[in-house]
Amino acid sequence: MLKRRIGNAEGGGAHRPLSSRGSWGTAAVCVLFGVMIAASMLAARGTDLRPSRNGGMAELVTSQVHHIRELNEEVSELETEVDGLSRQAAPVPEAEPPLELQRVAGPAVRVTLEDAPDSVNPVGVDADLLVVHQQDVQAVVNELWAAGAEAMTIQGQRVVSTTAVKCVGNTVVLHEVPYAPPYVIEAIGDPERLNAGLDESEAIALYKEHAEAYSLGYRQETLTEAEAPPYEGSTQLMHARR
């Protein structure tokens, strides 16, 4: 008995017709694969989905190095500009030392204070009234400063803001050096103003009254030229107490 062959005459191999269930399964797989590809493209946005772990850091370092180079170039240009402007600028003159440390010369007023002569010894008069005290010297100094003195000396020593006049016995101590009378005070400045300041002072007027009553010495002179040497000590206060 002959068996029927299934196939065409040119026959290659036998072909079984596909069922409808297999066709739909194949189509579903293709659609799912397409959706996955599209999702990957959207997530990557055109970039590599698996970039190098160090790729981002390398780009950041390269960018910062480039930025630093640009800043260094700007700094170099600014330094060059500053150097050029500095060379063009006029040199700054050195500051002058304080007036107390300079030699000062000019017209002046001289005041001489002196104790009463030994021969003067009025009965019942306190001996302290017959000698010059530190407050007498200080009164003259204060009035001369107030009248506009530019520089001053006592016994030839420069008087500065830290100068203290102290009385020890029958001597006056100035800058730790004791001096005996007569006490000579010279103030450089406008003689007219200096003389007026002395003449209008109540403290000087009181001393003049004692001078006349007890033969104390007081002499006031105008000098055409006097000199105040620079102060050689320290002008800083080393100790201060309340």
3-state secondary structure the chain: CCCCCCCCCCCCCCCCCCCHHHHHHHHHHHHHHHHHHHHHHHHHCCCCCCCCCCHHHHHHHHHHHHHHHHHHHHHHHHHHHHHHHHHHCCCCCCCCCCHHHCCEEEEEEEEEEECCCCCCCCCCCCHHHHCCCHHHHHHHHHHHHHCCCCEEEECCEECCCCCCEEEECCEEEECCEEECCCEEEEEECCHHHHHHHHHCCHHHHHHHHHHHHHCCEEEEEEEEEEEECCCCCCCCCCCCCC
Domains for the chain: give ranges and CATH numbers.
Answer: 104-228 (3.30.70.1880)
pLDDT per position in the chain (242 positions), as tens?
Answer: 444 444 444 444 444 554 555 555 555 555 555 555 555 555 545 444 444 545 566 666 667 667 777 887 888 788 888 877 777 765 666 677 777 788 999 999 999 999 999 888 888 888 888 999 999 999 999 999 999 999 999 999 999 878 888 878 778 888 888 889 999 999 999 999 999 999 999 999 999 999 999 999 999 999 999 999 998 866 565 555 55
